[in-house]
Copies of this chain bind each other. A is one copy, B any other.
Amino acid sequence: MSKTYTITELAEEFGITTRAIRFYEDKGLVSPARQGQARIYDHRDKVRLTFIVRGRRVGLTLAEIRELFDLYDITDGREVQYRAARRKFEERIAILDSQKNEIDAAIGDLQSWVSHIDETLERLRANPTPEGTTPNRVIGYGVAPVSETN
């Protein structure tokens, strides 16, 4: 008999609430066994939760995750069905891949903002605010953020 888990165990392990896990069940993402009323999760459920949590963090909706699971769960079908599933997976992979590029772009922006700040700090060091004076507040927003590449 292999290891099973209670709902709170999994909730703690994944850093989510029991409410969330039950919600995923409502949405058809997991379907744990029951011991009376209580839910009993096995390895498969746990692995699914791993992907759910991961999927959420990378921006998948629960509906999308569900679709992927359903595609994975085809245990019988014709070739055309499997090919369709395969295509969907590849599509999602491509999306995630392009998302990595977006993240790189965002990181690039932020890094250039950091250097912008570093330059400002340089200037401050070279020309510190004289004693007894107060820095003025400038109105409106300053220079624009940087990168514009699509």
Tell me which residues from 127 to 150 in chain A have a Cβ below 8 Å from any Cβ of chain B: 129, 135-138, 141-148, 150
Contact check, A103 vs B58: say whether CB atoms are below 8 A apart. yes
* Inter-chain contacts of A73 with B (CB < 8 A): 141-142
**Which residues of A77-112 are within 8 A (CB) of B?**
77-79, 82-83, 85-86, 89-90, 92-93, 96-97, 99-100, 102-107, 109-111
Number of copies: 2
- A interface with B by C-beta (< 8 Å): 31, 43-44, 46-48, 50-51, 54-55, 57-60, 68-69, 72-79, 82-83, 85-86, 89-90, 92-93, 96-97, 99-100, 102-107, 109-111, 113-114, 116-118, 120-121, 124, 129, 135-138, 141-148, 150
